Every structure is written in structure tokens, then in C-alpha cells.
Structure 1
Amino acid sequence: MSELLFENIETVSSLIQNKKLSPVELTELSINRIKEHDPTLNAFITLMEEEAINQARTLEKEIYDGKVRGFLHGIPISVKDLLQTKGIRTTGGSKVFEDWIPNKDATSVQKMKDAGAVIIGKANLHEFAMGATTENPHYGSAKNPWNIKKIPGGSSGGSAIATATGMVFGSIGTDTAGSVRLPAAMCGTVGFKPTYGLVSRYGSFTFSWSLDHVGPMTRTVKDSAAMLEVMMGHDPLDHSSIKKSCSVQLNEPLKDLKGIKLGFYQDYMFSGIDPRVKRVIEKAFNQLELLGAEIVPIDLPGIQEALEGLKVIAQTEVLSFHNPILKNHSHLYGDDLKFRFKYGQDQLASAYLTAQRTRNEFIGRTLEQMKGIDALIGPTNVQPPFDIGTMVPEQAISNMFTLGKTPLANILGFPALSVACGFTEDELPVGLQIIGKPLCDKRVLEIGDCYETSQQWVQALKTNIRYFNAYQH
């Protein structure tokens, strides 16, 4: 039965709705797998065993009463511990909130519950989502399932691990400069950052008001579309929430990519890339062309200034959020966060305003460059994951920029997907990134689904046993 945990959501949903698999059985399988492998991987901060079983029992009764909430009915998922869960502690990966129990769910969590998803636990993360490694000084470092000595990426590292190892079918993550997509790439899974404002951030600890996104993390692109379909929608509790949205369900997937034009800016996308990663990405590009896509060179004028602006915006806004907490609890923060706050304290209001103006100008220029182009492509990660414990706090602030090419989509606010595209010679995963135009989330997912279906790298997750307990000895 454990092989069911690696099936896609559509397959398992059909079994549940046809009463061939009960939500309780599936939830118990998920919990048992977490208990078996999480001592090695440290993907979770809090396992919600009792709550999940009770939720599954309710959903099982509904099935037998003829009530089906939808395709997520009875499907176990996890939630990054940055998002509030009613009655369950929400730590933010910090010591400051280690005992905080919210009285309501984050909007995205509530929507998943309403759709019938079983919330199985709170996933480990980089403290307050402020890092790219998920090396957490308070709850322990999360381990990459392809080599447990390596980082899984971050900040949503626990979510990526849980998904990659069959503990859950998906997870809700957050992404400020790549925190959904980078760990997905490094763990061999799928991560999707939607258009800014498409999914409510209400109930999530703030990193950066103008850069934060909430998005799905799954094993397949189609599963991400299924989760996004439920999560998105206007929320009056989130000032950035947009009212415009349409279905992203992939009911009629693309058979090929004929007529699809993909823009590639080599100077940025291949800068600082490891040769091992580059070889994998070039093979992925070849496959896109075999599917019929046209890859065209483009320019992104002002990109470096915009990315420098992202650093100013992020570190200024995060300091604004944390300043009231720092007054009384600064000693409870990890060393790398203290270094980040110092960077934020050195920024002037004029620098912040200049950064936002530079950003807006860059968005306009990029939209001009993307006329006639369906999406931008490039690597998600340009470096393989490094060993846990080898990064000093002073360098940690730049990890997201040196490890991957994810920050671009955050400064733009455009939808961006990371999909597995192969492995280095060291058998470490690499992610292909697809960045679309605003509110063209479905098109990005369609392109990614077509590529993924043609390659089936997802199958490698089923056979990976490198994280089994015996691997440590």
C-alpha cells in the first residue's frame, strides 16, 4: 500500500471517491511514513497525528454519505510552519513563537481544509523563512533526501522533503526570493510561485509585504495546478489580493509545444552556473525544442539594478516587521538573521523608495521584452546543494542569489514554476524554471506539464532510498 503515497493526486482521489481507499487508511499510511523517515530527514516541526486522523474520519464519513468536496478530499498535505493553523502551534521556525497557538487558520490553509485536504503537520523551514538552506538552529537542519549531508534548499525545505519522500502529496509553501522553487529544484519536485496577489498571504508571518507569495509544492505539475485551483481567489483580509482569476486546471494538457516561444537571457541565467548543472539544463532546453518550442535570445535591461533593489526592499520590509519583536526577544534569533537585520538597519528610506521605483521600471521593460513570448526559461538552481554546516552567517544573506535564479520572478511578481529536469553526475536534482506573464499562470503550468510528461523525472522519487535509515550507517 505504501506505493500509493507516490501516486498523483488525481489517481488517489479517484480511489477515494470510488470507495476503494479510505481517507483514514491513506492518512495512517502518511503518518507511518513520517514516523519512519522523519527522524533522518527532519522535515517536520510538528506532526498533527491526532488532528489529522480525526479530520480523515470526518472526511471518510462524508464519502459514505455521498458528499465529495472535490479532488483533494482525503488527500494528506503539509503546511510550512510559517502559516497559521488553528489550534496547532505555529512557530515560524523560531524560538520566539515556539509556543504560539493561533485561533484561526491562514486563508490558504482554510481553503485547503474546506476542499477536503487532510493537514498532516507543520513542515520545517529556515527561521522566519529568511534563508535558502533550512538549516534551523532551533529545530534542527532539514536533510536533502538525495544526500542527507546536503541542504535541501530553503526556506520551504521541509515542505520539499516531505513531498519528495512520499510523506505527503503536497505542501503549502511561501516564496519571497525563491523559497518554494529552490527547495523543489534541489529535492527533485515541483514548486509554483503564482502571480503576485493570486493567492492570499493572510495568516503567514511576513517577510516582505511586496515580495511574499504563497504557493503549492508537489511532485507533479498537474498536482500543483490542483492545489492552486483551490488556494487562489480574492481575499479581503490581504490588501494585495487581486480579484481577477480564472481556472488553472489542466483538463486538456498540451500534447506538444509547437507555437510556444520561450525567451532565454543567457547573461543572467547562466552566470555563476556549475558545469554539472549547465549540462542538465542544456539537455532540458533540447527537449523543449524537440517538443516544438522555439527558444529565442532576449535582453533584460536593468536586471542587476532590480535585483539589488530586491535585497533593499526585502531587508527593509522584514526589519519593519521584526523591529517590535527584536526590542524584547533579539537574543532568541539565530546568527544569520541578526546579520540580516543589521543589513536592513543600514538602509535609508530614500534607498527603499529608489528600489521600488527601479523595480517598477524594470517590470515595464520586461513586459516589453516579453511581447510575443510565452515565458522565460532558465535554471532554477545554478549550483548543487552544498554540505550542511558549511555556510557562515555573513555569506548566508546571498545564498538565494548564488544558489539559483529565482529572485527574478519575485521582483517581477510574475508566475514561476520549477520542474525537475534531471540529475548531476553526483545524482543531485536540478530544476528547470519557467517564468510567465502576469496572470498567465495556467500557460506556465501547461508548458511545465508538457515538458514533465515527456521526461518523467518524477519516477525517480519512488526509487530513491538514499534517505532510508540504513543509509546513515
Structure 2
Amino acid sequence: MANLTFTPAHQLAQMIRDRQVSAVEVLDAYLAQIAQHNSKLNAICTLDEENARNRAKQADEALGNGEIWGALHGVPVTIKDIFETAGLRTTAGYIPLKDYIPQHDATVVSRLRLAGAIIMGKTNMAELAGDYQSTNSLFPRVNNPWNLDYTPGGSSGGSAAAVAAGLSPLDLGNDIAGSVRQPAHFCGVYGLKPTDRRISTAGQIPEVPGMPVCIRQMITVGCFARSLEDLRLCFSLIAGADDRRPDVPPVPLDIPTGKSLQNLKIAWIDQWIEVPVAAEIRAAMQAVRQKLVQSNIQIDPWLPQDFDLSHILNLYGRLAAYINIYAQPVDRYNVRRSLTQIFRTATQGDQSLRKLGDFSRLLPELLNPSLKGYFETLTERDHLTAQLDRALEPWDVWLTPVAATVAFTHCPAWSAIDIDGKAYPHAVANGAYTMPFNLSGHPAVIIPIGQTQTGLPIGMQIVGKRWREMELLAIAQELDKVVGDFRNPLDY
């Protein structure tokens, strides 16, 4: 059972196709793992056992008739509770949606189903995807499988915890400020944030049903897995144009160049000057560089000449304010959460760091948004994206930390985080290394590279060129062979 629940999704699919194991047996293994461990993790908030069992039986019958549904035939997966699933409750952790049963799948869900995947259930998350922890008013908080007293991150904490603990081989999340990358780092799994608009967001909340589609920039659909091969498979299945989202361009998947690591030019940085990372993260990043140097791989310290983090985070915040103001419902639950976020990020943490992550500076845009201001912000974003495109051109990938902190103990929403004795504003500690690439639209992969002395995972962010995800994933896989340090949590 344990072997099945920690077997990568692509291998499970091959085993099912080869009749080494049945889809029912694989599902039973995962349901047993969920029954044993989910009550302490709260990673899965809605389990669809009956329908999953029926579908697994149908998958085995289809194979018996010589029929293969697709690349994930008979493989059970989970879906972040932010994506609509036809006939299966979808709440986004938001009380007014506690009984919402969608009539249609989100595009990415339907594409996984078409590939033969079986939806076991939905994974728990931050309310309306609005926090770096995974708590909401509907379900118990999600706990980190490496230490239950610690957060798995957010907003896709249930996704990362489920994959790390062997409750699911594959999960879909979304990322507008690090919601795939930070939980992958906190839980020691692999995560992908693709290029902006590479994957359709049709059927995704936080625009609650009936509201216009407002979040048209920076938000992406991503994947969690225990192997880079699974990320590549999942991405290839869900990417591409969608008539439900005409702004998703029909850009074909790129073909990797096949360069060896010794022929790559790799950029590296162990921390932003303005936002130092925890000492153990910096040591892990430096160990990565040393291993690559010892393997005769060209890796150089680098930061774009015009990389102004203060300007980047300010621009990110302004655009986030514009695209969220009409997407977020105005009710006592959401207003209370938003005011708490603004107040705590403006008043908690080191004063110099607060200047980087003070959301109160966005009040003019929030209280008096203008169309001109929105277009000016988009224009500035275009300039930044083009600037980073040019800066990255000589490099194959750029290695950076994922966050200033590793997983931290559960704490009140948006409160300051202690990092080596210094109080960091919540958004700065968790988002200063991820937000820039939501703003610019560049893809990024997370791989685990080590652990702290107390056994908490440390991940690394690998940033690539826009629209070159397959190349990025191929390079990440080669890097993973040299510097990767994936481990399963103990006792699972």
C-alpha cells in the first residue's frame, strides 16, 4: 500500500495500463492512506469516494475491453477546492459557497478527466485563496505533514500536504502570489507555476459564481507532484487555448533543446539584499551552487541590473488591488479578512521591511480605482516583463530562494513572522521571492534541495523564459539529479 501511495502518477498510469495493478487497487490504497492520515492533516476537505470507486471500476472494465482513456487512465488525483468540479461541492473555503455544487468542470479539471484521471476529492485551502496559510471558516486548518504544529503554506496548503503525505499523487493548485510555490517549498514537493495565460482559468474561483472575470493578469494554474516527470505530464495535459478563455493564446508547447548541464549558463542568487532569507535557506542555496561548480556546470551570481525590488513589489500590489477589487465579494467575511490583512501588514514587523509589503499604501486604488490608473499599471507591468525578458536572454535558468522563511508555526492570519530573530511582515516573508514572477509572468519550478536542522523542507525556485516550460522542466530535472533532495515525510 505504501509503495502505491508514494509511486509517481506516471508510473501508476503505466502499471495500470500494463495490468500490474488495477485502478481499483490503486484507489483503495489512496483511500486507506486518506482514512489513516487525513484527520490530523485536514488536507482533503471533500472526499468523493463513491463516484471515485465507480469510475475506477469503469477504468478497469475499459482496459479489459482494450480501451485506454488517456495518459492518466485510472489514476486517482485531487483538486484544490478553488476549481469547479461538476456535481462535487466546491467552496473555496468561503462560507457563502458551503453548499455550492457546480454544473460544469473547470477547464483544467475536464482536461484531467479526459486524460483518464479519477477525481478522488477536493483539497483544503485558504479562504478565497487569500493567505499564505491554509485556514478558512468552513474546514479545520491544514497541518504540515513534516510537523503538525507548522503550516503547510497557502493558499494551496491542502494540495501540497496531500501530495507530500501520500494522500494523492497529483494535485492542481493556482498561484497569484506564490500559492503553488510557497506550499511546495514548505512541504518538500515539486511545484510548477507556468507562464501567465498559458493555462485557462475558466471555472476557477475567487470570482464567485455570477461575478465578472476580473483577475486576468498574474494568476496561473499550477501543479503539485512528487516528481518532475509528473509535473511535465500534468502541465502538458492542461495547457493550451480554451474557447472559454479567448485570451489564452494558442501557443504550442516548446521542444526542449536537450542541452547537457555542462552546456547551460545558470544564474544564481541566494537572497535579495532588501529581504534576507533564513540562514539555513541561504546555506542550502550556497550548497546548490557548490555542488554545481564541483560538477563543472557554469553557474554565476546574478541579479538584473535594474532589478528594483521595492518598485516591483509596489507595482505588484497596485495591480493586485485593481484586479481584486471587483473580483472579491463585499460581505462581512471578506471585508473583515481584507481589513485584517491591511492592518497587520502595515503595523507588524520590522519597519524597513514594512515599507516593502505595506498594503495600506494601496488604499487609494482600493477606495478610488480609476481606469486610467489601471492602464498605467498595466503599462508599467509591460515594461517590467520586457525588461526581464531581455535580462534573462543570455541565461538558461535563474535559481533563487522561494521565500525568506521555511514553514512556520500556525499563527494568526497575516501576523509577523520571526526569521532568525527579526520580525518580517507576513507578505514580505512569504511573497517577496514569488510575487516578482507573477508580475512579470515568467514560469518557475520548485524542487526540494534540503532540510533544516529541525527537519523542515527547503525548496529552490528555478525561473525560466516565458512560454518555455518544457525546456524549464527538462533543465529542472537535470538539476534535480545533482542538487535535488526529495524525501517522503516520516510516519506516512
Q: TM-score, normalized by length of structure 2?
A: 0.87
Deviates more, 1:220-229 or 1:264-273: 264-273
1:299 equivalent to 2:299? Answer no
Q: CA deviation at 1:319?
A: 1.8
Counterpart of 1:244 in structure 2 is 251
Counterpart of 2:268 in structure 1 is 264
1:53 equivalent to 2:53? Answer yes
Q: CA deviation at 1:69?
A: 2.5
d(CA) in 1 for partners of 2:139 and 2:424?
20
Contact 2:450 2:484 in 1 (8 A): no
Q: 1:314 to 1:5 in 2, by over 3 A?
A: same
Contact 2:85 2:105 in 1 (8 A): yes
Counterpart of 1:399 in structure 2 is 426
Counterpart of 1:214 in structure 2 is 221
Counterpart of 1:357 in structure 2 is 379
d(CA) in 2 for partners of 1:144 and 1:384?
12
Letter in 2 for 1:321: A
1:453 equivalent to 2:486? Answer no
d(CA) in 1 for partners of 2:252 and 2:485?
30
| Residues 14-33 of structure 1: CA deviation (Å, up to 9, x unaligned) | 21111111111111111111
| Residues 239-289 of structure 1: CA deviation (Å, up to 9, x unaligned) | 3311012267x8x977x5111112235662783201011111211222333
Q: 1:247 to 1:365 in 2, by over 3 A?
A: closer
User: SS of the counterpart of 2:272?
Assistant: helix
Q: CA deviation at 1:304?
A: 2.6
| Residues 119-172 of structure 1: CA deviation (Å, up to 9, x unaligned) | 111100111111111122331211011111011111100000000011111100
Q: CA deviation at 1:177?
A: 1.0
d(CA) in 1 for partners of 2:334 and 2:10?
42
| Residues 330-362 of structure 1: CA deviation (Å, up to 9, x unaligned) | 123384334458856246425433332221111
Deviates more, 1:221-230 or 1:203-212: 203-212
Q: CA deviation at 1:213?
A: 0.2
Letter in 2 for 1:375: V
What value does the CA root-mean-square deviation take over the aligned residues?
2.4
1:318 equivalent to 2:324? Answer yes
Match of 1:414 among 420, 442, 445: 442
Contact 2:41 2:142 in 1 (8 A): yes
d(CA) in 1 for partners of 2:200 and 2:469?
15
Q: 1:21 to 1:334 in 2, by over 3 A?
A: farther
Deviates more, 1:32-41 or 1:385-394: 385-394
Counterpart of 1:144 in structure 2 is 144
d(CA) in 1 for partners of 2:484 and 2:379?
42
Letter in 2 for 1:367: D
1:279 equivalent to 2:283? Answer yes
d(CA) in 1 for partners of 2:425 and 2:383?
24
Counterpart of 1:471 in structure 2 is none
Q: CA deviation at 1:391?
A: 4.3
| Residues 38-77 of structure 1: CA deviation (Å, up to 9, x unaligned) | 1100101111111111111111111111111333111111
Deviates more, 1:5-14 or 1:118-127: 5-14
Contact 1:190 1:419 in 2 (8 A): yes
Deviates more, 1:440-449 or 1:7-16: 7-16
| Residues 361-414 of structure 1: CA deviation (Å, up to 9, x unaligned) | 111111121121112111112212211124456999963431251112111111
d(CA) in 2 for partners of 1:36 and 1:270?
44
User: SS of the counterpart of 1:333?
Assistant: helix
Contact 1:316 1:347 in 2 (8 A): no
User: SS of the counterpart of 1:263?
Assistant: strand
Q: 1:60 to 1:210 in 2, by over 3 A?
A: same
Letter in 1 for 2:167: M
Q: 1:339 to 1:351 in 2, by over 3 A?
A: farther
d(CA) in 2 for partners of 1:391 and 1:318?
19
Corresponding pairs, count: 456
Contact 1:378 1:432 in 2 (8 A): yes
- Identify unmatched segments of 5+ residues in structure 1: 469-473
The correspondence of residues 381-396 of structure 1 with structure 2, limited to 5 A, is 381-392=403-414
Contact 1:96 1:332 in 2 (8 A): no
Contact 2:270 2:401 in 1 (8 A): no
Contact 1:269 1:379 in 2 (8 A): no
d(CA) in 1 for partners of 2:368 and 2:280?
37
d(CA) in 1 for partners of 2:277 and 2:33?
35
Letter in 1 for 2:14: S
Counterpart of 1:333 in structure 2 is 334
Q: 1:338 to 1:76 in 2, by over 3 A?
A: farther
Q: TM-score, normalized by length of structure 1?
A: 0.90
Letter in 1 for 2:231: S
Contact 2:281 2:405 in 1 (8 A): yes
- Identify unmatched segments of 5+ residues in structure 2: 208-214, 343-359, 418-422
d(CA) in 1 for partners of 2:305 and 2:164?
33
d(CA) in 1 for partners of 2:226 and 2:48?
22
